[in-house]
């Protein structure tokens, strides 16, 4: 069963548009949540992470994500995207007390039009 679902496989936006990428996970226990970005030809970089505390987390490059426990969601947002945000974005979940491994969603390819 798919543990991490990213609903949008390919998103195309114009510069300055607002962005929201969906991520849902299927696990009822404690989780750590991550968003990673992979720019063309580069390795994965951490955008932001949620471990505990304030469910609204802010990451690098103006990205933020909100953990909504009741919805098992951790959506990524950015109010105004830039051409340089063109990349692939991966949501990832660590399911604690199960296997501690980090499982990735299928990724969302974001294309920003200049």
Partner 1 sequence: GAVVSQHPSWVICKSGTSVKIECRSLDFQATTMFWYRQFPKQSLMLMATSNEGSKATYEQGVEKDKFLINHASLTLSTLTVTSAHPEDSSFYICSAGGGGLNTEAFFGQGTRLTVV
User: Closest approach of Cβ 107 to partner 1, in Å?
Assistant: 5
User: Closest approach of Cβ 95 to partner 1, in Å?
Assistant: 10
User: Closest approach of Cβ 88 to partner 1, in Å?
Assistant: 9
Looking at beta carbons only, is 61 or 101 nearer to partner 1?
Answer: 101
Sort residue 65 into left (φ over 0), alpha (ψ -120 to 50) or beta.
beta
Looking at beta carbons only, is 92 or 112 nearer to partner 1?
Answer: 92
Query: Where are the extended beta strands (E) located within the chain?
Result: 4-5, 10-14, 19-21, 24-25, 31-38, 45-50, 56-58, 64-68, 73-78, 87-95, 102-104, 108-113
Contact 72, 26 (CB under 8 A): yes
Looking at beta carbons only, is 107 or 112 nearer to partner 1?
Answer: 107
Tokens encoding 68: 């909504």
Looking at beta carbons only, is 42 or 70 nearer to partner 1?
Answer: 42
User: Closest approach of Cβ 51 to partner 1, in Å?
Assistant: 4
H-helix or E-strand spanning residue 3: none
The residue ranges that bind partner 1 (CB under 8 A) are 30, 32, 34, 36, 42-46, 49, 51-52, 90, 94, 96, 100-107, 109
């Amino acid at each position: 069963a798919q543990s991490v679902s990213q609903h949008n496989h390919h998103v195309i936006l114009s510069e300055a548009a607002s962005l929201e990428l969906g991520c849902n996970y299927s696990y009822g226990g404690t989780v750590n949540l991550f968003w990673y970005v992979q720019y063309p030809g580069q390795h994965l970089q951490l955008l932001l992470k949620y471990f505990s505390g304030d469910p609204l987390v802010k990451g690098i490059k103006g990205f933020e994500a909100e953990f909504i426990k009741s919805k098992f969601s951790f959506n990524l947002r950015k109010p105004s995207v830039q051409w340089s945000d063109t990349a692939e974005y991966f949501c990832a979940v660590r399911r604690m007390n199960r296997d501690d491994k980090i499982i990735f969603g299928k990724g969302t390819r974001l294309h920003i039009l200049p």
